[in-house]
């Protein structure tokens, strides 16, 4: 009988993980427009950060372009390199470095967004 609380806790955790995974899926309407798959765009992004690891990815409209945006952690660095790959052509359109200070500011700005507080 003592296992019931454990089973309930695991069920709650599993549902939270599923909800997180669902929140990371691209918007279907944007995905329908993309001509370049995420895996191909990721491979392109990683050429800009040799040895890097993708920490986060997103399909989004940015400056009037549909882009795959990747946050890549370079080896032995606390910086994040954001690489944006055009989702229609597969070409890199932007590479920017975010320091830990920049990342903290972005996290605060994301918390302040109305749709993030649901």
pLDDT (tens digit per residue) in 61-79: 999 999 999 999 999 999 9
Ordered structural domains, the chain, with CATH = 27-117 (3.10.450.40)
Backbone angles phi, psi at 5, to 5 degrees: -60, -35
| Distance between CA atoms of residues 24 and 90, nearest Å | 21
Q: What is the pLDDT of residue 25?
A: 84
Task: Write out pLDDT tens, residues 8-51.
Answer: 444 444 433 333 333 468 899 999 999 999 999 999 999 999 99
Do 67 and 85 form a contact (C-beta atoms < 8 A)?
Answer: yes
The reported pLDDT for the residue numbered 83 is: 98
């Amino acid at each position: 009988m003592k296992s019931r609380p454990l089973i309930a806790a695991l069920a709650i955790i599993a549902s939270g993980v599923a909800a997180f995974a669902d929140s990371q899926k691209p918007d279907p309407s944007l995905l329908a427009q993309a001509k370049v798959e995420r895996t191909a765009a990721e491979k392109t992004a990683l050429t800009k950060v040799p040895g890097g690891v993708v920490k986060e990815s997103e399909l989004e409209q940015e400056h009037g372009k549909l882009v795959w945006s990747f946050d890549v952690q370079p080896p032995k660095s606390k910086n994040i390199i954001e690489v944006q790959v055009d989702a229609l052509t597969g070409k890199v359109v932007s590479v920017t470095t975010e320091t830990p200070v920049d990342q903290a500011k972005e996290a605060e700005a994301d918390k302040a967004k109305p749709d993030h507080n649901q």
